[in-house]
Each structure stands twice: as structure tokens, then as C-alpha cells.
Amino acid sequence: MRQLPLQQIRQLCCAPIKGGQFAASCSSSRQTLSIRRNYARQSSLRIVAQARKSLMLRELERNKAEAKEDQEDSQLPSVSNLQWDSPLDIVRYPDPRLRAKNAKIAVFDESLKQLAAEMFEIMYRDQGVGLAAPQVGVNVRLMVYNPEGKKGEGQEWILVNPRIVSTGRGQDTMAEGCLSFQDISKDMFITGHITRPSTVKVKAQDENGAKVSLSLTDFQARIFQHEYDHLQGTLFHDRMNKEDLETAKPELIFMEKLFEKHHPNVQIQSVSQS
């Protein structure tokens, strides 16, 4: 097939043919092309409008979530004098301190740094990668973590008064464990699969009170969310899938009975109540 020269095409468009004018056919083609272009333009405008609407809705949801968290934060107590008993030790399920409200920290002095340092020591001793203050019986909004889980390796993070700004839409499921749900002496390690957002944006303060903003992904995002749950009074078995929770129930009930044996007058929240 040979392509006609442009000049010849123009002449054909203006030349009369039997049964009508070829020019009319060209005009019709131009109208069809114009309609198609208008349709494509309108489709593009609709797509842009939908994207803007989706962005506005997500921004509205984020603003509502922040407003709700601001309100919740305003209702939390705050502490300006950190106190605890050394040496620290892990608080085991179902100790009520794991469900208690945790106060905002309003003091950034040597006591805060010392508490964080002792928490790291306990975390490394028990082979963890993260630890929240209520897990050592100190009900304040403080977490420490190191994705490597080994002293001298990786990066140590100290986050004070952390908050989740937003989470991504993507999720993944992994098996998790918790230092408050294990007893090395009894060779008991409770684990379960938990689905969490794979990305999370957070803001917090460091041990000096400076503001920190982080965009966390994958394993580090999971560690943060696990420890943040502790600060909210949420325990990891609350998020287990149904099958794993049923599997873990006998060990959870064993831990409850063991706690009740040593603390007969302390009221607990039992897994059988959930």
C-alpha cells in the first residue's frame, strides 16, 4: 500500500465525485474526529475530577482521625516526674497494667533517658526488637525499638508520645510474638498471624523533646504498630486471626490462671471474655 502525497489528498477532498461531494465526506470525518477529541477530553476531565474527589475524601478522613486523636490526647493524663522501680522486668499477660491508660510524657530529662536505656537492656535480654513502657510496668507513652534486635547493631529508636498520622492502603500478614506473652523459663512462646498496614506515617518526640516525623515501611512499620498498640491498651492477641487465636487460647488461659494464683484479688480481662 502506497501513501498518497498530501497535495493529492487535498485535491481529492475538493474534487466532485458521483453521488455527492467528497468534500462533504471530509467534513464529516473532521466532525467525527472533533467528537472523539471532545469525548476524550471529557473522559480525562472526569478522571481528574474523580482523583481530586478521592484525594479530598482521604484528606477529610485524615483530618477527622487527627481531630479524634487530638481529643483523646487532651483527655490523657500527663506526667512531669518519671518514677519506676529498678531493675525493670517484663510485665506478663494478663497483668492489668497492659490494659491501663498511658500518660503523656511532659518531662525530657535524664530520668527519661535512663528509663529508655533500661528498657533497651530488657528488650535485648529477652531477644525482642521492640518494647513499650507499659510492658515494664511504667504506664507512660514511650516506646523503644531496634529492628536488628541486637545491642551494637542496627539503629535504636526512642519515640515519646507517638501518634499515627496515616497508614497506607497496602497490608500484609505476618506471624508476631510479644515479650509479654512468653516465658523462656517454661519454653512458652505464643505467636499468631496479624494483618497490618505495610506503611505508616508517624509523629513523635525524641528523648530530648524534639519533634520527629517518620515514614515507616515493612518490618519497621509492623514493629511500630505493635508497640503503639501497647500504648493504646491493645494486645497482640486482640488482632490475631480467628484460627490462631483458637490455637493460642489454651496457653493464654494457662497464663491467666498462673497470674490469678499469684494475684488472687486482681481483676483481669480474660481471653474468654473477648
Work out whether strand 78-79 and strand 104-105 pair parallel, antiparallel, or are unpaired. Answer: parallel
Beta-bridged to residue 143, according to DSSP, are 132, 159
Assess contact for 93 and 180: CB atoms under 8 A. Answer: yes
| Terminal-residue alpha carbon distance, the chain | 76
Contact between 252 and 93 under an 8 Å Cβ cutoff? The reply is yes
Phi/psi for 251 (5° steps) reads -70, -35
Cα 180–93–68 angle (5° rounding)?
85
d(CA 127, CA 148): 10
In whole angstroms, give the CA distance from residue 196 to residue 220.
12
What torsion do the CA atoms of 184, 188, 194, 197 make, to the nearest 10 degrees?
0
List, by residue number, the catalytic residues. 227
51, 110, 134 from 150: Cα distances, Å: 45, 24, 22
